Amino acid sequence: MSKHATVIHWFRRDLRLMDNTALTAAAKDSTQVVPVYVLSDWKKNHGWTGSIRQQFLCGCLESLAKNLEANGSRLILRTGRADLEIEKLILETKATAVYLNRDYDPYGREMEQKVQALCARHGIECHSFKDRVLHEPEEVLTGNGGPYRVYTPYSRNWLSLEKVSPVSKPASLGLASTIPSEPLPTLDHWQLSAPSATLPAPGERAARERMKSFIEDRRLMGYAQRRNTPAGTTTSRLGQDLRFGLISIRELFARCMAAVATATNAEERTSIETYLKELAWREFYLSILWFYPAVFEEEFSPEFRGVPWVGRDEHFQAWSQGKTGFPIIDAGMRELLATGFMHNRVRMIVSMFLTKDLHCHWKLGESFFMQHLVDGENASNNGGWQWSAGTGADAAPYFRIQNPWTQTKSYAADGAYIRQWVPELKDVSPERFLAPPKDNRSIAPGYPLPIVDHSTERERTLAIFAKHRQG
């Protein structure tokens, strides 16, 4: 016999039915589950998102609604502050419990506490679950019981811990609720214009196909060898699917582990291990955010708080438009604008260029990425930007400054990636992408000269940081 007649499942970053921890528990414990998603009520501009990710979210919610209808249920949509809307829903449905999957950023944690408090006021149960991660921050601690500040020992511990197996989707969520719901959102909900970017297909089914393709097409088996090559599809491309919870991290891990049995050599086994370590990086940055939420506002390393960032606005604008005169930088930024995605190696190159060559504050780049990345995940994005700036957890030392020209030679020397995204350069010999022009003439009509000299700006950065460290 069910424990509850009616309960609420609050969808957040878990927009799927398969292996959804809180949803599965809600279905097991009740006769009827009322699924709800609470839309944000900001309009026009937001520092942490934009039309690209909101467009993808709209598609994911449409897919989720159809999947729930196929299950005999119905997605309820509301707009506003999540705790207030859930409280209204409790009164409307006479629900006796709320089920949710935990979040790890400061806003998510604060809202969970408010929902727990309102449930207590109404005398009903509130159940929260681990779902977004394989291991929560407080499950992966040092021998002294504190948080890790360095990735490598964190990852060793993370990899050694037992992983929970995935479960199937609930057989039934009970009768569909007849209470009022808002319509599925479009970009008009936030007063946003349609993006020009071509985005991946949204929703759980499309995400599961991408996961299946990554493993069964054996891209996973070549991951270690090809992951730093920006041309082509050389990585998993599952970032947006993990960010919105369209796939389960437990199922992804389990499928990767199952693939070990099909590996035919040491290189393929190394590739699987390398990919799993990338999943550990994701949870390392979530752990950093959990224990040090101030990283959104200041440098993780106290040593570098107050470093003067003296970048010029016109340089930031050139960077954001992909018009710096550095082909690898411009290709990366134009890929981002056109697709909502940027290859991870290129993310590192363009991030270090903005902070170390153009001397712009990492927060500017952090916000720009979050507004344009379809897979924008605030913990990983913050961690990546502070890594490149030399200010973050286990960051690149401030004196390690990537040279865009040599990075191009190492990872994009054939010119395919640059030619794909910078059409002005489609007929230019790839050798011209490996060093600044010697004759002070543009390498192609309509393409700008480099806006700075890398060697000069590198020395300037070293001087700025050295002076700051000296007090």
Q: At what angle do helices 327-339 and 362-372 cross, to 10 degrees?
A: 40
User: Which is the catalytic residue, given 385, 387, 405, 421?
Assistant: 385
278 is catalytic: yes
230: tokens are: 């920006």
The H or E element containing residue 208 is helix 204-216
DSSP at 439: S
Assess contact for 130 and 136: CB atoms under 8 A: yes
405 is catalytic: no
**What's phi and psi for 108, nearest 5 deg?**
-60, -45
The H or E element containing residue 7 is strand 4-11
Assess contact for 147 and 293: CB atoms under 8 A: no
Looking at this protein, which amino acid is placed at residue 154?
A: Y
Any residues with CB less than 8 A from the CB of 433 and at least 6 apart, and which? 327, 328, 408, 412, 413, 415, 418, 425, 443
C-alpha distances out from residue 240 to 21, 200, 208, Å: 19, 9, 12
Assess contact for 358 and 319: CB atoms under 8 A: yes
421 is catalytic: no
- Using the structure block, give the residue that is written with the tokens 């599952």: 238
290 is catalytic: no
Separation between Cα atoms, residue 262 and residue 215, nearest integer Å: 11
Adjacency order of strands within the sheet including 76-79: 76-79, 30-39, 4-11, 97-101, 125-129
User: Which is the catalytic residue, given 298, 303, 309, 403?
Assistant: 309
The number of residues in the chain equals 471
User: Which is the catalytic residue, given 278, 298, 424, 457?
Assistant: 278
User: Which is the catalytic residue, given 157, 281, 303, 457?
Assistant: 281
Separation between Cα atoms, residue 96 and residue 7, nearest integer Å: 6
Assess contact for 405 and 388: CB atoms under 8 A: no
344 is catalytic: yes
Specify the 3-state DSSP secondary structure of 300: coil
Assess contact for 4 and 31: CB atoms under 8 A: yes
Separation between Cα atoms, residue 192 and residue 179, nearest integer Å: 28
User: Which is the catalytic residue, given 10, 190, 362, 387?
Assistant: 362
Any residues with CB less than 8 A from the CB of 41 and at least 6 apart, and which? 79, 80, 81
- Beta bridge partners, 10, equal 36, 100
User: Which is the catalytic residue, given 273, 344, 403, 457?
Assistant: 344
Active site residues: 278, 281, 309, 344, 362, 385
